[in-house]
Amino acid sequence: MRDFYGVTLNSPLMLGTAQYPSPAVLAEAFRTSGAAVATVSLRRETGGGQDFWALVRELGVRILPNTAGCHSAREAVTTAQMARELFQTPWIKLEVIGHSDSLQPDPFELLKAARILCAEGFEVFPYTTEDLVLAERLVEAGCRVLMPWGAPIGSGLGLNNRYGLRSLRAHFPDIPLVVDAGLGLPSHAADAMELGYDAVLLNTAVAKAGDPAAMARAFALAAEAGRLAHEADPMEARDMAAPSTPVIGKAWLS
């Protein structure tokens, strides 16, 4: 498992903490899945108060505060600074939304915020697209993790641009990559991990499932299966059939 700013995680699954039907269901989803990271919005924490923060601490996982809902670099930087003080961690998932319908990141404001936060000592996890140029600029700014989207947040569409995600993996072989957003089924998580990604982050697919704990476990198993498949060096797809049973030694009738 690749390091995330010097931290080795024991699971490739990261889960959000919003939209669960109850705190007990949230805790059970984390317990059954073994997820290594919990993303927490500053707005979510302040809305839930000390009870929610106590619950998150009891999960025993790494906390990744995020700047969800921010639409400018200035707003994101201020939110990140507040989150660092509250959660006592340099980690920050940087979200700067540029499009209200697709929730696509604003590349210009995202890069501006990343530069400021990296200079201030934050360990930034930028929510980005699969654009290679933007990814290069984020790495140059100091980001040591990239989190490209699979599809729009909450859409459940899976990997919309496999070519782009595969290209990103090939271009940054030494940078931890996390598919963030748009995963709706465990098979989507396996797909991302089979491409060589290091982790997946999701929220809605688990929190809104009929049985969130069971779905969280399913995603954990799928992510682990995908990672093992990638490490096993899977066969390449081919256009023609190839027999699995050799014809050498077969009796031929004349």
Q: Assess whether 93 carries a catalytic annotation.
A: yes
How far does CA 202 lie from the centroid of its chain?
6
Q: What stretches of the chain adopt beta strand conformation (E)?
A: 3-4, 7-8, 13-16, 37-41, 62-66, 91-94, 123-128, 147-148, 178-180, 199-202
Phi, psi angle pair for 128, to nearest 5°: -135, 180
Buried b (16+ CB within 10 A) or exposed e, 200-214: bbbbbbbbebeebbe
CA-CA distances (angstroms) from residue 95 to 36, 48, 78? 20, 21, 12
Tell me which of 93, 112, 208, 250 is the catalytic residue.
Answer: 93
Residues in the chain: 254
**How many beta carbons lie within 10 A of that of residue 70, not counting itself?**
24
Q: Which helix (H) or strand (E) holds 44?
A: helix 42-58
Provide the annotated active-site residues.
93
